Structure 1
Amino acid sequence: MAKEEKKAPKLRFNGYTNDWEQVKLEKIATFSKGKGYSKLDLKRKGYPIFLYGQMYTDYRYKIVETSTYAILKEDAVVSNGNEIVIPSSGETSVDIARASWIAQKGIILGSDLNIIRPTSSVYPLFLALSLSNNQVKYNLAKVAQGNSIVHLYNNNLKKVNIYFPNIVEQNKIGNILNSISNCINLHERKCEELALIKKALLQKLFPKKDEIKPEVRYKNFSDAWEQRKLGEV
């Protein structure tokens, strides 16, 4: 029997030297589909739900909560906390090649989601990262089908090759990358908040049309602003 192909990255945590194993995804996971829900089913209250569109509007590697809700249907697919989801349709093959770990139980998984449930030998966060980056992402993009709307099916996913180390190293890799991703998301939210503050200040620190004073002033400043032609100043 031919020796199984192995591979290892150049950068490793201390104490890890063994090669990574290569297997087809179908050897380390089972596959299914989300069903029965779309944006039309969303409610203000109910069971938390995750729809494929959220992977484009608010993409994260690890999903622990959602701000969207729906009524629980009898045939709903509900997470048990170790699912990897990949959109089954999108605008481009590159966009569709992304995966998230549904790390919380009790989240409804809506239509147009491919669902992957890895075995205990694979850390779900590591698998989500692997499917969303580097060569594996490129391989996913290659098997996506369609033109104006691109589709990715479980039969395509099953044949994708995955490289992975032992479960301990998978945890270390997944956790450090997720920590960095969370830090980036936090700073992005802060940047968005500051942009809103700046926009509000621009409206209040300058006089409105036909007014001679701004709405907000620093202390000890109360005089009206002067008006001049630009050429005069």
Structure 2
Amino acid sequence: MKISIILMGVITIILLSSVVLATKTNEILISYSKDINEISYEVRKPQLTQFTIKNNEDIQRTVIIQRLINNGMGETLTSYPGGEIKYLETESIGWPYLEYEITLGPDEEKEIGFEIKYRIIPTNSLIELEEIKVLDKSSRSIITTSEKNKYIKIECNSDGICDKNIHENYKNCPQDCISGNEDSWCDGQKDGKCDPDCLAHLDKDCKEGEGNQKVYSLRTKMIKEKKQLSEEKTGILQDVLDWFKNLF
């Protein structure tokens, strides 16, 4: 009886040890130094972004950290101590990314920081952060990635100039852009001015023939072409039907 109890105790200890070890496997943790969703960047102004990498294992790990640079949204890195800009080669373009190589001892964590600025403002002022990947140096397999759906807000510089070069408009920068002006955004505000970015029916201040004539002309052209294509298809179908009738 005593032997059975001892054996059960030994087995329990082994199983518990296995569970503990399992929770320690491949645990490299990524966390931003503060809630990134609360961060705002002024357009064209460099700002420090920091995140922490922690080795939650009992062994030393050398890892590769990678983060794509979103050139399409005007991301520019102005400072990245210890990092290196590399390019992901594709068939048509070399996509830039930031890479670090670091070694972490057991339960060690390191903070990594880089300065980034944005050249333009999105229409809704929000930009989704690029994912951070942590790879094992030897196998190049992905160990972990940063949390997705993290956004930062890009704010205008409030200099009194509605700057089209950085995509300022009434929606994302009402401080600099007044309603009713040409800024590539139809605000539709009732301000006594026909917004040149709006189709006439979208701005109550616009009369017939006013507003964005380029868009109106394009829309009219598309409607005419669609109608013409429909008529051509109908004509072809009628020709086929007539051909079948002539067979009998």
TM value normalised by structure 1: 0.22
Q: Is the helix fraction higher in 1 or 2?
A: 1
Structure whose CA Rg is larger: 2
